[in-house]
Chain A
């Protein structure tokens, strides 16, 4: 099975995110994950391409993951403003 740590490690090494949040939403089964990625590499890419990059970074894991929800795929510039809002206080 795929662990949260594996997903984090793959995304970290391939996308060099400045913010990363991975949640196993399958109750620990490792079959569904929710991710938020903020990376410089998304610069100039539209959402579809960003999601493709995340999918590609998790190519190995995707063989076992049934559901991957990409909640966020933002550039550092996009991320900053929304960070101020109350709903984004997770990293505080």
Chain B
């Protein structure tokens, strides 16, 4: 019971934090601004639609589009500049070794998006990393691929987009 209460409490903090900081993240602007979640709004009074059309199908489209448009896409807790979970932080740090542009969404901002990503990849936890549209896995897998040199191989033709020297 205590654990349940405290996790609800923490979730509340995370949501508030996310709604305040999420907008910094450029590529997500068009999406994030659809529903600013008021910190003082009770769950019952929050709008249930997070995107204009609101259905699961359209969220799936968003995810599909994300992974198509971004050669490296990560769904994480927090934002790359300020991850809110050790595993998300680890995954971002690994990806940042490769100087590739990283698309990211903060799943703490939106429970519906979180569920949509989970059902898209059939993967229960976050972070989730997609490279060139392919689901790669979570932080354990990305770290393993980094160590084994497979990540370098995967990102070979993506690398250098950001730092060309």
* A contact residues vs B (CB 8 Å cutoff): 1, 29-31, 47-48, 51-52, 55, 59, 62, 66-71
Contact = CB atoms under 8 A, between A and B. Distances in A.
Interface size class of B (residues with CB under 8 A): 10 to 19
Nearest to B135: A48
Most buried by A among B85, B87, B122, B137: B137
B135 A69 contact: no
Contacts of B49: none
By Cβ-Cβ distance, the 7 closest A-B pairs, closest first, are A62-B124, A70-B140, A48-B137, A55-B124, A29-B3, A47-B141, A69-B140
Contact of B137 (A1, A31, A51): A51
Contacts, number: 37
A34 B144 CA distance: 15
Contacts of A70: 140
Given A31-B3, A31-B7, A67-B87, A47 B125 contact: no
Interface of B: 3, 7, 85, 87, 122-125, 135-141, 144-145
A69 B141 CA distance: 10
Contact of A67 (B125, B141, B144): B125
Contact of B144 (A1, A47, A62): A47
